């Protein structure tokens, strides 16, 4: 593993095709505060095999991506998700063990001991090891600087709305749980009533997974609203909503959405009615509640603050500590 000051051109990010894992790896690299190189990783058919069969090789990577994985080898490799793990391990071996491997989410048992730092969400409930580092939620790019810039851009567009502004960030159906029309109506009614009681407005955004229940939710809103549905043309106000909101309500189906909702300091309320989320998401919610980052969605808007949450900065700090970076 590399020691001392890291050369600023020697950090590689293995950027997965999947947006969710890609963002997490890039967020950690950005939090390190040094220049880095993004290596886009596209996969061939072998990537679908278990890592035990792929091995510490580039075998699962498409040929044009393999062409970019050449010396000089980096001092730090940052990846996320299972499929980048064989690539990271291959780089470490080709660098004669000098490359430090940083992985977000557990790569699986095969070769896990070859990673220098594995950032594991506490809510996953995995056993710890000397090379694991427990985090809350997921790394993201909603930094204080990004929020300041978004607030300056979007706040003038909301000034016609009464305050407080309550952002409502809506996810939806997942592989194992449905977001039903009944849930959507309940969420719309509750948030509308909260905003009405406070004399404020809603900033509502839906996602690809919301589906038809988005209509049911919107139909229940009876207060001034700025609405952005999934697929609407024009700029996506998501970051602007988070930056400007006096409070945030987020559905509990997405780890990333919950973590991003907690990136600022405004009150955060999680909507997770019985039967809506899987057990590990419920464990995340409890962790957010216990840490003072969020509260379950109730009936009234309360004024309170919490520290910003971003696991990317925590992982970056641990990488700097282990590398003794200046």
CATH number at residue 268: 3.40.50.2000
Q: How is residue 212 written in tokens?
A: 């038809």
Q: Are residues 131 and 197 in the same domain?
A: no
| Residue ranges in the chain whose pLDDT is less than 50 | 1-4, 8, 326
Q: Are residues 122 and 253 in the same domain?
A: no
Q: What is the distance between the alpha carbons of residues 217 and 66, in angstroms, rounded to a whole number?
A: 46
Q: Are residues 28 and 52 in the same domain?
A: yes
Is 5 a member of any domain? no
DSSP letters, 259-292, are HHHTSSSS-EEEE--TTSS-HHHHHHHHHHHHTT
Q: Are residues 227 and 273 in the same domain?
A: yes
Q: What is the distance between the alpha carbons of residues 112 and 125, in angstroms, rounded to a whole number?
A: 16
DSSP letters, 192-248, are HHHHHHHT-EEEEE--TTT-THHHHHHHT--S-EEEE-TT-SS---HHHHHHH-SEE
Q: Are residues 105 and 154 in the same domain?
A: no
Is 3 a member of any domain? no
Q: What is the distance between the alpha carbons of residues 101 and 98, in angstroms, rounded to a whole number?
A: 9
**Looking up tokens 């939710």, which residue turns up?**
217
Q: Are residues 239 and 170 in the same domain?
A: yes
Is 237 a member of any domain? yes
**pLDDT value of position 322:** 87
Q: Are residues 24 and 123 in the same domain?
A: yes
Is 301 a member of any domain? no
Is 176 a member of any domain? yes
**pLDDT value of position 290:** 98
**pLDDT value of position 255:** 97
Is 161 a member of any domain? yes
**pLDDT value of position 82:** 85
Nearest to 85 by CA among 132, 52, 44: 52
**pLDDT value of position 178:** 96
**pLDDT value of position 49:** 55
Is 252 a member of any domain? yes
Q: Are residues 225 and 292 in the same domain?
A: yes
Q: Are residues 156 and 250 in the same domain?
A: yes
Query: Mapping DSSP to helix (H, G, I), strand (E, B) and coil, where does residue 120 land?
Result: strand
Helices of type H across the chain: 19-32, 51-54, 63-66, 85-94, 144-158, 181-198, 213-219, 238-244, 255-261, 279-290, 311-323
Q: Are residues 93 and 135 in the same domain?
A: yes
Is 307 a member of any domain? no
Q: How is residue 262 written in tokens?
A: 């907690």
Q: Are residues 93 and 158 in the same domain?
A: no
Chain-centroid distance, C-alpha 242 = 14
**pLDDT value of position 61:** 80
* Structure confidence by residue, pLDDT tens digits, 227-276: 999 999 999 999 999 999 999 999 999 999 999 999 999 999 999 999 99
The answer for residues whose C-beta is within 8 angstroms of residue 122's C-beta and 6 or more apart is 134, 135, 136, 283, 284, 287
Give the torsion through C-alpha atoms of 156, 169, 258, 233, to 10 deg.
-70
**pLDDT value of position 326:** 39
Q: What is the distance between the alpha carbons of residues 115 and 77, in angstroms, rounded to a whole number?
A: 10
**pLDDT value of position 83:** 86
Q: Are residues 158 and 238 in the same domain?
A: yes
- pTM over 0.85? The answer is yes
Domain extent at residue 234 = 144-296
Q: What is the distance between the alpha carbons of residues 294 and 208, in angstroms, rounded to a whole number?
A: 24
Residue 295, φ and ψ in degrees, nearest 5: -140, 155
Our count of domains for the chain comes to 2
């Amino acid at each position: 593993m590399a020691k001392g000051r890291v050369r600023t051109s020697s950090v590689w990010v293995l950027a997965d095709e999947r947006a969710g894992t890609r963002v997490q790896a890039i967020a950690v690299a950005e939090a390190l505060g040094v220049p880095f190189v993004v290596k886009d990783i596209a996969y061939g058919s072998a990537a679908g095999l278990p890592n035990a069969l792929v091995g510490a090789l580039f075998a699962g990577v498409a040929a044009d991506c393999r062409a970019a994985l050449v010396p000089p080898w980096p001092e730090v490799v940052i990846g996320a998700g299972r499929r980048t793990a064989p690539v990271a391990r291959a780089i470490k071996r080709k660098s004669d063990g000098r490359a430090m491997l940083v992985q977000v989410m557990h790569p699986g048992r095969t070769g896990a001991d070859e990673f220098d730092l594995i950032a594991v969400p506490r809510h996953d409930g995995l056993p710890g090891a000397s090379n694991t580092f427990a985090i809350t939620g997921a790394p993201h790019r909603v930094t204080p600087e990004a929020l300041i810039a978004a607030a300056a851009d979007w706040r003038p567009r909301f000034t016609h709305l009464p305050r407080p502004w309550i952002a409502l960030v809506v996810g939806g159906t997942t592989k194992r749980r449905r977001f039903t029309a009944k849930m959507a109506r309940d969420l719309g009614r509750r948030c509308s009533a909260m905003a009405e009681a406070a004399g404020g407005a809603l900033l509502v955004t839906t996602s690809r997974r919301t589906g038809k229940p988005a209509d049911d939710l919107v139909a229940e809103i009876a207060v001034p609203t700025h609405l952005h549905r999934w697929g609407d043309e024009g700029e996506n106000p998501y970051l602007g909503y988070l930056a400007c909101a006096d409070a945030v309500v987020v559905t509990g189906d997405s780890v990333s959405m919950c973590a991003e909702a907690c990136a600022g300091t405004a009150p955060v309320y999680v909507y997770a009615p019985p039967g809506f989320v899987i057990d590990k998401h419920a464990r995340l919610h409890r962790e957010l509640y216990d840490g003072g980052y969020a509260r379950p969605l109730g009936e009234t808007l309360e004024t309170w603050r919490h520290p910003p949450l971003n696991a990317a900065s925590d992982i970056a700090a641990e990488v700097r500590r282990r590398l003794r970076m200046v």
